[in-house]
A and B are shown apart, each in its own frame.
Chain A
Amino acid sequence: MDTVMEKPLTEHIRPDGKPLSLKEYEAVGGYSALRKVLGGMAPKDVQLVVKDSNLRGRGGAGFLTALKWSFVPLDAPKPKYLIANADEMEPGTFKDRILLESTPHQLIEGMILAAFAIQASESFVFLRWAYKVAAHAIEKAIHEAYDAGYLGNNILKSGFDLDMHLHTGVGRYMCGEETALLNSLEGKRATPRAKPPFPQISGLFGRPTIVNNVETLCNIPHIVNKGSDWFKRLSRTEDSGTKIYGVSGKVKRPGAWELPMGVTMRELIEEYAGGMQDGLRFRGALPGGASTDFLVEEHLDVRMDYAGVAAAGSRLGTGTLVVLDDHTCPVGFVKNLEHFFAQESCGFCTPCREGLPWVEKTLQSIEDGKGREKDIDLLHMHTRYLGPGNTFCALAPGAMEPLQSALKYFKSDFDQHIHDHRCPYHAIPATLEHA
């Protein structure tokens, strides 16, 4: 394990978590990357360092950031758009919140740099409604940035113009899906769009658009400042940089920490989260939010990077673990997840709209002790046919990941529910009527 650990994204966070003011941010080198870039780098140069840095998107899909940028036609006329995806609504995920609340300028600088790299003239922070503290911080920071000449026309006399707006959503997990997010910004229903055309060619208002995750963008200033090799060295593995990992569930110290890419699940749970609560055993965890496959004990030493988690049969996703302990019912656990997905389905495509409620009802009846053997086949059918490509967007496939792995790793629990006609764990109260 590394002795000196750099935490570029979080090292300057104030102990009280209050947002760094412009002054404070500048005092620790804030906006120097922007000065550097506007001081004579070309958009392509910025794309190049980011390319060399191997930065992958932290929003869940892990797509190479510079590659995504490269699809934007640089010569396309104004407007072009850059959007920070701050809709963080993936259950179990609370990493972007930290960055938004405590270092808003880091995000803004990252956005300006990204915007410059694709020559965008307009940018949005798409923030979920519930992040009130973050909303204030960003609002204030944007004003400060305008006043300081980091935003607006002719930024730092470089001739580069960029406007930035904060847009707070009105609910719905779907808004985080990048094309649904665009529809929402256009004042429409947040249903996803067909690709092609890809947003990089025809996105917001039919113009070239890049959507990046908050954490992704926060990395940009540091990469520009310290270079791609430095960024690669931050990590323990091929996948470069640090990652904000989180742990929630029945552990001693739930929380989030910026760590080198590639720490193991064991380190996260045992060292950083202080291990399981007394008397509880670890049974499994969702490594990267609700829409990732369970990992179990045998995976505890899996390196938490894109390749490592994939090799173990799951996805790094958002890198925030949700831990399942041995006193919590796996069926109830998955039922809760599927309830979430069924609720958040946009209702556009058939398998998701009709399939997820069926899955939820089936899990509920198993949990209530009314399950039948056939129900397991039904669940398997859904995990098979709600896969990628079969539905219009990635919501439903994401919903199937925890289910399919639960059916694999916790089969005995499902069977026991069905045979005993009851939930072997503490009696869970009857379903609550949800409005």
Chain B
Amino acid sequence: MDDPLICARAIHFAATIAAVGAIFFSIFIAGPAFSKVDAGARSPTVLRAQFAWLAWIGLAVAALSGAVWFILVAQSMSDTSFADVFSEGALWTVLLQTGFGRAWLARLILACLLAAVLTVSFQRRGKTPLANIFAVVLAGGFVGTLAFAGHAVGASGFEGVLHPAADFAHLVAAAGWVGMLVPLTLWLAAAARDEALAGAAYTVAKRFSNVSLVTVGVLLITGSINALYLAGSLFAITETDYGRLLLIKVALFLLMVAVAAVNRQVWTPRLVQDGNVASNREALSRLRRNAAIEVGFGALIIVIVAVLGMTPPSLHQQAITEMQHHSH
């Protein structure tokens, strides 16, 4: 049954995106904003610790769910029982002799390196630029290489290069948007309680919104490339499970974009209305609520992605249908 694999995939996607999002947020958004907060304030220390925990827990859960995912795939590949997959050397064969195994090996190495760099980066409060650069590159690599565990691989020629590259960028952008929403919500919640943070809330909301513009653009372009290769035709989108799931995913994505647009256009500008404390508080509260709603939509999208990876892509399914008709 595919259900345990779908669960492992969903948890792994969510944990990876959460961990990478926390790292991206700490470096790109929180770092610059903290410099505008009074040095004596206690909240930045608390928030830094929260982001670090988010990254560490995300990485730990990603490691665990990644191991379960790997074992389930190895079991399926080698047609053995759960017990035999450990005893008959199937794990090694999958790890060393298949593309999926080599991708997992590379991701394990990336995760270990990332953990080492994070230890330095978090200890020095993000003030070591070199460690930050390494953390961003390794975190991006860790989430992006998930592309090599899915439908993006398998083709030859130009598609064999463009499709995995587009999927890699898609995953990094997803972590840069959906993954950063959780630490953003934490920040906004803390800012509602602490005046020192509230002063930097506009910087945070604006920076996040600007980064989102870029990531949403990347998601649209790379998502279209993926859809072109996997869904292909109108028939394939409307008449297959894969296509219908993809439509739901796109609908959820558009809802997220709509909520994000309201945050950008309506509530973020209200944060700079000096002197109007009530208006600021309302804006903070609305921003936080909307960010939490976006997190909910993002989680649903991740579940769909976990199922999509297990569903035959529309074009494959369409071709099979045509073959069956042909042979009758």
Q: Do A and B come from one complex?
A: no
Chain B contacts to A: CB under 8 angstroms: none
Chain A: residues with CB nearer than 8 A to chain B? none
